[in-house]
Amino acid sequence: MKSRLSWMFLSNMYPSSADPSYGAFVSRSLEDLRAQNLDIRHVVVIRGRHAGWHKLRKYLSYFRELLVTGCTGHVDAVYAHYASHHCVPIALLKLILRKHLVLHIHGDDLAVRAGWSRTLNRTGQAWLVMHADLIVVPSQFFADLLQSIYPHVQPDRICVSPSSGVDAAAFKRHNAVSNPGHWQLTLSAPRLNVGYVGRIDPDKGWHLLTRAWGQLPDALRVKTQLHFWGGGQDLPRLLQQIEQIGPENATYHGHVGPDEVPDVHRHFDFHVVPSFRESLGLSAVEGMAAGHILLCSAIRPFTDLMVDGQHALHFQVGDERALRDALVRAFCLSAGELAEISDAARNLALTFDRQLVAARLATTIKENVCSN
């Protein structure tokens, strides 16, 4: 066995100059693996979002480059993000050329959906899962989900690595953590700033926040300012709802690039993550890194990671009235209680520090792939 493997890095979802937040975690993953001394010589990715025939051409070009590089590029091992759309050519490299394979599964690529393409993907995905040297997942919840779908996968072939973690130092540099608002705010404060940072898509539950705002007691509603950052298919609906609420109580700040996230968190004190489902929920971890009072859906993996009332406030998933009650609960906490939750959240987020996460993942890869 070679003492140092030559790697090819693959992803069908990667940032582009036009859409720097799309697949941002994947680009961070590449940076982190290289920083940890993995010899990644070839990077084959699809940059940005595409549709229709243009998307088909992008995939055909991607498959061609993937296979040519895998066959002729002196590649020993493959690190593949996502297990769905490109599973067949990756399976060919593993089956025919016996490449080492690290398979990084995220979320929707594990979902079971109808359609002939999904059926083909599930077949290739099942084969990849069965034969991968190592399978990386973002949370213990997702490791359990993986094993419930593929019970033959042994736990020692699964590595839980929380999506490159967060750059805790960046939040501190941008003064997000030193923002004193969240432990000084009381019912007498002139403004209660509530933030949402993430995709404006149905499964993220953003609409629960605008509806919960409308159900707040009058004294709280008039001084609660909602702040939204992000983009997605529901953006027109969000803008319509903001127009109905009025600029004095709701603001859309636009898209946000990954490097801008720490600075964004300086502008609010209460962070709402109302997702219906998450494989990790990196936005929630970022909120804790900023020392915010985090309000999030009571779903796994959130309930695995944080204790209600200690690190965050939980509310029933999909329930706007439960979110309203959680907001009232947060607004009515004493300064001391707010400070305790903020400190506990920040300390928990430090265990997700990007450098620590990268070092643990690289060590696992070297022990389970490079040494075999």
pLDDT in tens, the chain (372 residues): 444 899 999 999 898 887 777 788 899 999 999 999 999 999 999 998 888 998 999 999 999 999 999 999 899 999 999 887 788 889 889 989 999 999 999 876 665 554 445 555 666 788 888 889 999 999 999 999 999 989 999 999 999 999 999 998 888 765 555 555 555 655 567 889 999 999 899 999 999 999 999 999 999 999 999 999 998 889 999 999 999 999 999 999 998 888 889 999 989 989 999 999 999 999 999 999 998 999 999 999 999 999 999 999 999 999 999 999 999 999 999 888 988 999 999 999 999 999 999 999 999 999 988 766
Output the pLDDT for position 339: 87
Q: pTM value?
A: 0.89
Q: Which helix (H) or strand (E) holds 273?
A: strand 270-273
CATH level 3 topology of 168-350: Rossmann fold (3.40.50)
CA distances from 148 to 167, 302, 333 (A): 32, 19, 40
Domain segments of the chain as ranges: 6-165+353-370, 168-350
CATH code for the structural domain at 6-165+353-370: 3.40.50.2000
Output the pLDDT for position 114: 45
The predicted-structure confidence for 29-57, as pLDDT tens digits, reads as follows 999 999 999 999 999 999 988 889 989 99
Provide the 8-state DSSP code for 291: T
Phi then psi for 158, rounded to 5 degrees? -110, 130
Q: Which of 242, 214, 245, 215 is nearest to 228 (CA)?
A: 242
Q: Which of 169, 166, 371 is nearest to 271 (CA)?
A: 166
Domain pair 6-165+353-370 / 168-350, same fold = yes
Output the pLDDT for position 188: 67
- Decide if 92 contacts 131 (C-beta within 8 A): no
The predicted-structure confidence for 45-90, as pLDDT tens digits, reads as follows 999 888 899 899 999 999 999 999 999 989 999 999 988 778 888 9
